[in-house]
């Protein structure tokens, strides 16, 4: 039996407990009590959710052996006061637990405990840059669903905790069990850790009509070279005016924005189709497969081949 301990603190976000269902249904699938899930807090007793409900917890004192600790998040980690006892407890558990995870902004508590120092980690996109500012020794990957660095796991927003929990089940019980759990929970698929938290087009949204028109044109014509002159012509500006206005409104050059759109389109094709990488590179406007590979490493930190291998593994889940 593997004991999963959820560490709660007042004003935690109730949705972060949803991942408990993943472990519950893993037990159903294997017809055994493989996981034992408990709620804990430092002192025990009732803990208040951000919605005002209360949840009963046991004290971490004398909690016994826990295989995996999962620290839940709060709506605003910047406004929440962290008791020194929680980071101290987590530091002590590093040498005992097999895994320690932070769901959503729960990663801030791991950071306070020093568990993320010189490690890769993620958190909710709205707080990722603040985490990087406050803890410069963390390698924050703000555009990841979840990140695994050794025994330390962190996830993005609260629903990403489901994906992270499924990844734990896959590690513990295999791909077939994780796939069955996902089906029972009516999850379309388990998102891989490398998937983006948000869309390139959403990042570039809320701009003027002419810049949006140019972006929409680019997205529909990614297989073309898409020169500055061509994009400028679609919105009736000179190339120099277009570059200046585009950079002012989006905070990046047209070339960088177009590369972002190409990367997003290429990744989507890799994840959703079986087209050869050469074909995907051509269809999304990269010079060749080698050019696409370099862009992937810069943009995602992984190669297109790694994304494809990950998606093949997903098909087995």
What is the CA 140 to chain-centroid distance, rounded?
11
CB 155 within 8 A of CB 193: no
- Cα→Cα distances 201→58, 193, 205, 214, 259, Å: 45, 21, 6, 12, 12
Instruction: Assess whether pLDDT exceeds 60 at residue 210.
Output: yes
- When pLDDT is averaged across residues 275-302 and rounded to a whole number, the result is 91
Kindly report the pTM of this predicted structure.
Answer: 0.66
Residues 6+ positions from 163 with CB-CB distance below 8 Å: 145, 146, 155, 190, 191, 192, 193
User: Could you count the other beta carbons within 10 Å of the beta carbon of residue 186?
Assistant: 6
CB 152 within 8 A of CB 100: yes
- When pLDDT is averaged across residues 270-274 and rounded to a whole number, the result is 84
Instruction: Assess whether pLDDT exceeds 80 at residue 42.
Output: yes
Q: How does pLDDT run across 59-69, given as a tens digit for each residue?
A: 999 889 999 99
Instruction: Assess whether pLDDT exceeds 70 at residue 197.
Output: no
Question: Percentage of the chain with pLDDT > 70?
Answer: 90
- Cα→Cα distances 93→100, 166, 167, Å: 8, 23, 22
- Cα→Cα distances 24→17, 29, 63, 187, Å: 12, 9, 20, 15
Residues 6+ positions from 71 with CB-CB distance below 8 Å: 6, 7, 90, 100, 101, 102, 103, 106, 107, 109, 110
Q: How does pLDDT run across 109-131, given as a tens digit for each residue?
A: 999 999 999 999 999 988 998 99
User: Could you count the other beta carbons within 10 Å of the beta carbon of residue 161?
Assistant: 29
154 three-class SS: strand
Q: How does pLDDT run across 43-62, given as a tens digit for each residue?
A: 999 999 999 999 999 999 98
Handedness of CA 140, 156, 178, 168 (dihedral sign): positive
- Structural domains of the chain in order of their starting residue, each with its CATH number: 2-184 (3.40.50.880), 200-316 (1.10.10.60)
Instruction: Assess whether pLDDT exceeds 90 at residue 171.
Output: yes
Instruction: Identify the pLDDT of residue 317.
Output: 41
Locus of tokens 């990046």: 252
User: Could you count the other beta carbons within 10 Å of the beta carbon of residue 55?
Assistant: 15
Q: Taking all residues of the chain, what is their mean pLDDT, rounded to a whole number?
A: 88
Closest CA relative to residue 101, chosen from 22, 11, 186, 31? 22
Instruction: Identify the pLDDT of residue 39.
Output: 97
Q: How does pLDDT run across 297-312, given as a tens digit for each residue?
A: 888 778 899 888 876 6
Instruction: Assess whether pLDDT exceeds 60 at residue 23.
Output: yes
Instruction: Identify the pLDDT of residue 187.
Output: 77
Cα angle vertex 305, ends 100, 141, to 5°?
A: 35
Instruction: Identify the pLDDT of residue 140.
Output: 92
CB 153 within 8 A of CB 141: no
């Amino acid at each position: 039996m593997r004991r999963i301990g959820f560490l709660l603190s007042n004003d935690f976000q109730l949705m972060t407990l949803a991942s408990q269902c993943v472990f519950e249904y893993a037990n159903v699938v294997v017809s055994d009590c493989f996981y034992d899930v408990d709620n804990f807090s430092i002192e025990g007793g009732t803990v208040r959710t951000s919605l005002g409900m209360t949840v009963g917890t046991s004290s971490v004192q004398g909690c016994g052996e826990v295989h995996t600790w999962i620290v839940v998040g709060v709506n605003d980690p910047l406004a929440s006061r962290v008791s020194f006892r929680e980071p101290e407890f987590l530091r002590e558990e590093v040498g005992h637990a097999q895994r320690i995870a932070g769901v959503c902004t729960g990663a801030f508590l791991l950071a306070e405990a020093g568990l993320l120092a010189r490690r890769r980690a993620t958190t909710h996109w709205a707080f990722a840059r603040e985490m990087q500012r406050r803890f410069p020794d963390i390698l924050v990957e703000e555009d990841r669903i979840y990140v695994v660095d050794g025994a330390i796991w962190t996830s993005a927003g609260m629903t990403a905790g489901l994906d992270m929990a499924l990844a734990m089940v896959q590690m513990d019980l295999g791909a077939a069990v994780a796939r069955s759990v996902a089906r029972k929970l009516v999850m379309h698929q388990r998102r891989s850790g490398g998937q983006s938290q948000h869309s390139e087009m959403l990042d570039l949204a809320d701009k003027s009509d002419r810049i949006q028109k140019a972006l929409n044109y680019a997205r529909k014509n990614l297989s073309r070279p898409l020169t500055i002159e061509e994009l400028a012509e679609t919105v009736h500006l000179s190339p120099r005016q277009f570059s200046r206005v585009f950079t002012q409104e989006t905070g990046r050059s047209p070339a960088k924005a177009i590369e972002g759109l190409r990367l997003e389109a290429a990744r989507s094709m890799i994840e959703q189709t079986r087209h050869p990488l050469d074909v995907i590179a051509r269809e999304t406007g990269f010079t060749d497969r080698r050019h696409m590979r370099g862009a992937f490493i810069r943009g995602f930190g992984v190669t297109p081949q790694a994304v494809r291998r990950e998606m093949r593994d997903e098909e087995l889940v």
